[in-house]
Each structure stands twice: as C-alpha cells, then as structure tokens.
C-alpha cells in the first residue's frame, strides 16, 4: 500500500522511515539505478553538478557543428517529474564520511543509508596537465561548445589572415588518440572541411585543411578486431585524414605539437582523445584505487571496506567482464546501475543474494563519416554503410526523450541530403587575433 504514495505526491510526503538512497551522478549508470529503485519504498536523492543528463557518445557532434547541445542533453528534473520519492539536487560532492554515512556538497550535507557513486571520468594527460589549455578534451557540453567555436574560428582566422604560414597552421588540426572518440572527431572535422564549409569562403579552401590523427599504438581503434581497424583506417584516409601510428606526443604548445623527439607540427588546434581518469571518488572515501583512479569494488560493485557504498561505471574498477576490466561504455554503466539497484532491493526486502555482476557485452560501434562505420558484435562484424545505419539507429534509440530523438533525426536527415551542418555557431569569447 505504501507504494501508492509514489504517485502524485511531494517528496516531503514520503515516510521518513523509508531507507534513503543517495545516487551521485546522473550519467547512464546513475539514471539506470534510480529508474529501478524509484518503484520501491525508498527515498532517493540524485545529486549532479549539472541539471541535465548528457548523451556523451554524440558530444563530438556538438564539437563539429552537427548537433546542438539541447539535442543530446535532457533536464534531469523532467525525467522524474512524476516520481514522488525522487529528489534531484544540483551540487558537486566534495567529501564523503562512510562512518557517519554523510555526503557533503558545498555548504550542504545529507545522511544516507545506501550510497551509489556514478561520477564518471575526466581527461587524463598522463601527468602533463600543463597541456590542458592547448589540447581540450570532450566530456561536457561546455567542452563541446568550446571546441566547436575553436574549430570554426580557425577557418575564420585563416580567411582573414594574409600570412601563408599562419594560414597553414590554422588549417592544421591534430587529434591525439585513435579510440572511438578520436576517430569520430577526425572523420567529422574532415567532412566539415570538405563538405559542410564548401563554397563559403572566398580567400581559403577549407577542403585543403590538414587533419592528423596521432596514435601511440600500432593501429587505430585498438579495442576492435584488426580487420575493422583496417577498414576504419582506409575510410579515414579516403576522407584525407593522415594517420600517424606508433607516434607519441611529447609536447603541446599554443602554436605547435611535438611528436617524438624530432617531429614538430605547426598547429593552433589540438584535440585530446587519448585517455581518461576516474573522478576523485576514491579520494573522498580514502579507498583503494587503480592507476586510472577507479575505486576497487567487490563482485557486487560494493566499495571495498565501505558498508553500503557502491561504485559503478567509470568510477568502478570492476573485473566483471569474464575476469577482465569492464569497459567504459554506456551499456556497461547501465548494466552496473541496474545490478546495484537489484542488490539494494534484495537487501531491503530480505531476498537471497544476487549472482556476481557480469557485464554482457552488447557490441562496439564507431562511425568514421558519411555511410562509413564499423560494428563489432563478436559473432558478427560489420563495416561500411550497413554499420553506419546501424550506428545511427542504436544511438537514436539510446537517447533520452522523444524530443531529442526527433531533433537528432531531423538534423541528420538534413545533413545527409544537403551535406550541410546547420549548427555552425561561434559562441564565447576569443582572446586570439
């Protein structure tokens, strides 16, 4: 009978004796956990430093003028408007006391009975944080809008410049890291230069832009099978992207990037897609972490040595993929969030324990450009147009909200038939000349 109070009631109407579950982070894992728990007799507080859920797999399309921020982000409060036992709080957690079971964010704090950390990851420059101002990564909407402005300004500055050497430097784009994000960025910038900006400049030819993809390993998309990596490399080269394998960046400055000990490339645009580091959740808890900052967890994603504290997604150092580390993918985070919610449910209802968390790989996809993508489902491997259509269908399906799905589809259909990108807006201040 108590479950009836969840509908059309205020959060204050929820009984105080219901267990309080605090979820930190409204990414894929956090939302998956809340969506299952909200149907139980529990009080839920969802804390995030943003008021929106971001669909990160399409963030690169904001950076390359393909989509608007509103197309890939959904206000969190709207997702739980009808759920009386869910409270959404805007705040950035900076401390956790697992002994007193309190979470602190800014000047506020709250008690919890169960805590779920789904705080994601940020860029890792492998100890070279001084490169950050010259080589932004893509993790937030602000990153995407800033990179978009920087890329578009490069073309605008080249148009107004009378210095041939600076024009060449401005029209050189370097992407560091050839995982899915790096590959998708390189392909999108190449298509923007060759199709999206065609015939729009009088003094420069955007199609002459030089796009370099730098990878320290021996192939791009190292998590994919070798044959799909080869197909992706060929597709990028067909777009004019230069791929440098076995190359390690040794320095990044405002007007150049150094590769190895001898090679120096003049450029004013370097984009970072080479690595990530987990959020500081491990430091909040004083918990054991791995080299990437992921918190060590047990088979049920409980943080080692901390009662009723769970970590999921990029926050957790789980080996739940047949003994291997769970990849930092959206499906993995969603599965982890669902598992933790089930674990809390069983504990509250006195049910038998669950089987250990086991990540079920649903496949990997990466798009290179127009009608070109790769897809690996283990039992079947696809590339080319069919993989591209599948990539689009999967990403639209994962988006939150009907409005976002329609907006993305309309933008993609428009771009497909016109070869134009409609979100070519330069926003924000620029101190450069």
Which amino acids are annotated catalytic? 184
Query: Could you tell me if 58 and 414 are in contact, meaning their C-beta atoms sit under 8 angstroms apart?
Result: no
Beta bridge partners of 382: 375
Q: How far is CA 335 from CA 58, 317, 362, in A?
A: 20, 15, 11
The two three-digit tokens of residue 247, written as one number:
């190359």
Strands 256-259 and 269-272: unpaired
Give the residue among 41, 14, 44 at the shortest CA–CA distance from 32. Answer: 44
Per-position DSSP letters for 213-242, written without gaps between them:
EE-SSSSSSTTS-HHHHHHHHHHHHHTT-E
Cα gap 118→429, rounded to integer Å? 33
- How far does CA 402 lie from the centroid of its chain? 21
Per the DSSP assignment, residues forming a β-bridge with 310 are: 116, 302
Residues 378 and 364 sit within 8 Å (Cβ to Cβ): no
Helix (H) or strand (E) holding 95: strand 93-97
Residue 312 near residue 326, CB atoms below 8 Å: no
Q: Which two tokens stand for residue 374?
A: 């790769």
């Amino acid at each position: 009978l108590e479950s009836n109070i969840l509908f059309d009631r205020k959060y204050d109407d929820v009984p105080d004796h219901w267990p309080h579950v605090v979820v930190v982070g409204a990414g894929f894992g956090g939302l998956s956990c809340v969506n299952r728990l909200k149907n139980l007799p529990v009080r839920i507080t969802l804390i995030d430093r943003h008021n929106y859920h971001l669909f990160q797999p399409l963030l690169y399309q904001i950076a390359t003028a393909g989509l608007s921020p509103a197309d890939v982000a959904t206000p969190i409060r709207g997702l739980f408007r009808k759920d009386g036992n869910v409270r959404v709080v805007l705040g950035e957690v900076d401390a956790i006391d697992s002994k007193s079971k309190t979470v602190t964010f800014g000047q506020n704090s709250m008690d919890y009975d169960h805590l779920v950390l789904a705080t994601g990851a940020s860029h890792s420059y492998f100890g070279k944080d001084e490169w950050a101002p010259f080589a932004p990564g893509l993790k937030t909407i602000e990153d995407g809008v800033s990179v978009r402005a920087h890329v578009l300004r490069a073309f605008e500055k080249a148009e107004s410049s009378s210095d041939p050497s600076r024009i060449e430097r401005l029209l050189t784009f370097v992407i560091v890291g050839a995982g899915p994000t790096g590959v998708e960025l390189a392909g999108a910038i190449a298509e923007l230069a060759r199709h999206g900006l065609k015939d729009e400049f009088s003094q420069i030819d955007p199609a002459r832009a030089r796009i370099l993809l730098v990878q320290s390993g021996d192939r791009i998309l190292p998590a994919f099978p070798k044959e799909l990596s080869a197909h992706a490399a060929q597709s990028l080269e067909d777009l004019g992207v230069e791929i440098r394998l076995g190359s390690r960046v040794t320095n990044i400055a405002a007007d150049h990037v150094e590769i190895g000990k001898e090679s120096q490339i003049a450029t004013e645009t370097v984009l970072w897609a080479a690595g990530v580091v987990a959020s500081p959740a491990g430091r909040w808890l004083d918990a054991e972490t791995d080299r990437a900052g992921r918190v060590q967890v047990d088979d049920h994603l409980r943080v080692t040595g901390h009662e009723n504290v769970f970590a999921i997604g990029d926050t957790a150092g789980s080996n739940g993929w047949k003994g291997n580390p769970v990849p930092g993918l959206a499906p993995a985070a969603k599965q982890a969030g669902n598992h933790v919610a089930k674990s809390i449910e069983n504990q509250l209802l006195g049910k038998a324990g669950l089987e250990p968390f086991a990540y079920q790989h649903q496949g990997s996809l990466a798009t290179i450009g127009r009608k070109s993508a790769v897809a690996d489902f283990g039992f079947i491997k696809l590339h080319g147009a069919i993989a591209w259509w599948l990539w689009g269908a999967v990403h639209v399906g994962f988006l939150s909200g009907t409005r976002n799905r329609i907006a993305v589809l309309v933008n993609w259909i428009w771009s497909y038939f016109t070869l134009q990108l409609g979100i070519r807006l330069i926003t924000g201040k620029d101190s450069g000349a």
